[in-house]
Amino acid sequence: MHISFIEAITSIAHWLAVIISVITVIAAFSIHYLMLGWLNERANTVVRRRRPRVLFIVLMTLLAHILEIWLFGIVFALMLVFPAMGQLAELPNAGLLDAVYFSATVFSTLGFGDLTPKGPLAFMVGIESLSGLMLITWSASFTYLEMRRNWE
């Protein structure tokens, strides 16, 4: 069921989805910023050898992405508790692991073929996809710079 533009902009659930999305994105980018900042300052002292340092950086950025995926997944799971926030069409009783799986497919921009968001939840899906793309490229850029510095 599609709703009109007027119904969408006057819907509390839609505005709540926007607010929740903004807060979640700020939290995810903060996790990433803190992790990359920590790696920039401390990777040399944690791992002394140059090439293993690159592996350490790759693994820690992967950990940051996993935390961000779980953050979005937990928020999806909480939103799914409230029917007005929407649902995953093919899985009306989605649990936490379903929400985290869905988050991983959206974050990585793999796409969602087996689960489709409906309702205000769909806004957050689009925002997570864009955020995941930006965070992954941020990690790739950081890793590239570290490889240039540490990989001879």
pLDDT for 86 equals 93
121 vs 148: CA distance, rounded Å: 41
Decide if pLDDT at 2 tops 70.
no
Q: What is the mean pLDDT of the chain?
A: 92
What fold characterizes domain 5-150? Helix Hairpins (1.10.287)
Which residues have CB under 8 Å from 138's CB, separation 6+?
A: 32, 36
Please report, rounded to a whole number, the percentage of residues in the chain having pLDDT higher than 90. 75
Predicted confidence (pLDDT) per residue in 112-137, tens digit: 678 899 999 999 999 999 999 999 99
List the domain boundaries for the chain: 5-150
CA atoms within 13 Å, Cβ hemisphere of 136: 14
Q: Give the pTM.
A: 0.91
Max avg pLDDT among 25-29, 42-46, 87-91, 118-122: 25-29
Phi, psi values for residue 21, rounded to 5°: -65, -45
Over residues 14-19, the mean pLDDT reads: 95
Decide if pLDDT at 50 tops 90.
no
Cα 13 to the center of its chain, rounded Å: 21
pLDDT for 8 equals 64
Decide if pLDDT at 99 tops 80.
yes
